[in-house]
Copies of this chain bind each other. A is one copy, B any other.
Amino acid sequence: MARGPPAAAAAAHGPRLAGVGRALLLVAATATFLPAAESSCPRDNSLVRDISRMHQSNYGREGFSHITVAGALAHGMKEVEVWLQTFGPGKRTPIHRHSCEEIFVVLKGKGTLLLGSSSLKHPGEPQEIPVFQNSTFTIPVNDPHQIWNSDEHEDLQVLVIISRPPIKIRYQQRRSKL
C-alpha cells in the first residue's frame, strides 16, 4: 500500500528494552521521533490527501521517517490520530510509554516489539515479540515499549493509530551505561 517515504532513521537508541527492566529512569522529554515539532506545519484542510505528497520529517534521526496522515495540529483531529512511520534496518524508537491507546499495523518489513509491563513494580525482562508484514498489535496503556526494525536489509513500515492526540510521551532509559 502506502508508498512510504524513503526510509530515514529511528536512532539506534542504545540498549534494548530487554536490558532496561530493572533499572528504569522515567524521563518526560520532548518527543524527538514523534510529531511534537509539528506545530510549525501549516494546517491542511484538503478533504482527500495524497500521502506520498504529505510533509514528512525524520525529527533529527537518521533512518527514520514520520508522516502525520491525520493529526490534531495539521488536520484538526480531536479523538484519534494516524501516522505512517518507516524505520531503516536496525533502527528503533526510544523506549517510551504513554497513557493513550496505540494500535500498529505493519505495512511492510518485519521487526521486534519489546514490551514491558506497567502492572509490575519491577517489570523484569520485557517480552520480545516478532512482528511482520500484515500483522497488527496494540500497546497496553502505559506499558513501556520499543519498536525495533531488527532486520538487516529491509525497511519496516507501520501505520500507527493513537487516541486522544496530541500524544504525551514519557521516555525510559537505563539509569547508566546509555
Copies of this subunit = 2
CB neighbours of A130 from chain B (8 A): 48
The answer for the CA separation of A103 and B136 in the assembled complex, in Å, is: 18
Contact yes or no, A48 B103, CB < 8 A: no
CB neighbours of A75 from chain B (8 A): 138
Provided the pairs A82-B161, A113-B48, A159-B159 are in contact, do residues A105 and B69 lie with their beta carbons within 8 angstroms? yes
The answer for the CA separation of A103 and B2 in the assembled complex, in Å, is: 15
Contact yes or no, B79 A163, CB < 8 A: yes
Flag whether A17 is at the interface (Cβ < 8 A).
Answer: no
The answer for the CA separation of A131 and B47 in the assembled complex, in Å, is: 10
Provided the pairs A2-B105, A80-B163, A101-B80 are in contact, do residues A134 and B47 lie with their beta carbons within 8 angstroms? no
A residues contacting B by CB (< 8 A) are 1-3, 47-52, 69-70, 75, 77-80, 82, 100-101, 103, 105-108, 113, 115, 127, 129-138, 157, 159, 161-164
